[in-house]
């Protein structure tokens, strides 16, 4: 069974909740713990769509936005595009932000196809976000052609930790902050876990944040679960 967990995103300087990110989780039986799916590619498209529609119809949050993740293959799927467009209609005036994550092998998808799909969802009021900037394949030169389409970029501190590049975080964060300013985008810092990282974000004047330090993901139960 798949369900979404939601994690708060905040504006630290205004001390306000700006939105939630929806994170898909899996468990085989009611006795099992919820875990990250072993392979996001293996989640059937129809399961994702049904879950997204069910969650959107019950999500009545008085917040600015909800964010949902897809890899490029999923993002280009017309059925998923239709589902997120429907979700935006149900959730209005809450803004739906589609985050595209990086995964190896995603050079296979044509830039032109990405641009067309971004324009399609934006024509229906959704926003586009580039997740995991600076790590994996989402380095500057690779995503530069998409920066003009994005309202938001997300910098994941945990990815740098996983790649044993923790020492690079301050310089990389400064670089991506400048990219965000140049392209008039929001920059969300995710993976903030302790006082030191919170202070770094303060020092670099990055207000928008997400991480265990501010709030862990928690299960969004559907009515059918009760």
Q: Write out pLDDT tens, residues 13-58.
A: 999 999 999 999 999 999 999 999 988 888 999 999 999 999 988 9
Query: Between these two residues, 77 and 103, which has the higher pLDDT value?
Result: 77
Question: Residue 47 belongs to a domain with what CATH number?
Answer: 3.20.20.450
Poorest-confidence range of 56-65, 104-113, 157-166, 202-211? Answer: 104-113
pLDDT digits (tens, 9 = 90+) for 170-215: 999 999 999 999 999 999 999 999 999 999 999 999 999 999 999 9
**Structural domain for 121, as ranges:** 2-225
Domains held by the chain: number = 1
| Lookup result for tokens 């069974």 | 1
Claim: this prediction has a pTM higher than 0.95 = no
């Amino acid at each position: 069974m798949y369900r979404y967990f939601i994690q708060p995103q905040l504006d630290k300087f205004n001390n306000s909740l700006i939105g939630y990110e929806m994170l898909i989780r899996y468990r085989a039986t009611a006795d099992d713990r919820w875990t990250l799916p072993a392979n996001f590619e293996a989640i059937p498209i129809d399961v994702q769509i049904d879950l997204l529609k069910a969650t959107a119809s019950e999500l009545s949050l008085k917040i600015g936005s909800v964010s949902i993740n897809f890899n490029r293959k999923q993002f280009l799927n017309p059925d998923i595009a239709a589902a997120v467009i429907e979700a935006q209609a149900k959730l209005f005036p809450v803004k739906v932000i589609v985050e595209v994550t990086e995964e190896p092998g995603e050079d296979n998808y044509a830039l032109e196809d990405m641009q067309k799909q971004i324009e399609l969802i934006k024509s229906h009021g959704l926003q586009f976000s580039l997740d995991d900037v600076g790590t994996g394949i989402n380095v500057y030169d690779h995503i530069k052609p998409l920066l003009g389409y994005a309202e938001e970029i997300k910098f994941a501190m945990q990815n740098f930790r996983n790649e044993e590049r923790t020492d690079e975080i301050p310089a990389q964060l400064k670089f991506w902050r400048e990219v965000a300013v140049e392209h008039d985008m929001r920059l969300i810092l995710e993976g903030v876990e302790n006082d030191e990282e919170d202070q770094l974000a303060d020092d670099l004047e990055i207000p928008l944040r997400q991480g265990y330090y501010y709030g862990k993901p928690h299960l969004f139960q559907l009515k059918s679960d009760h």
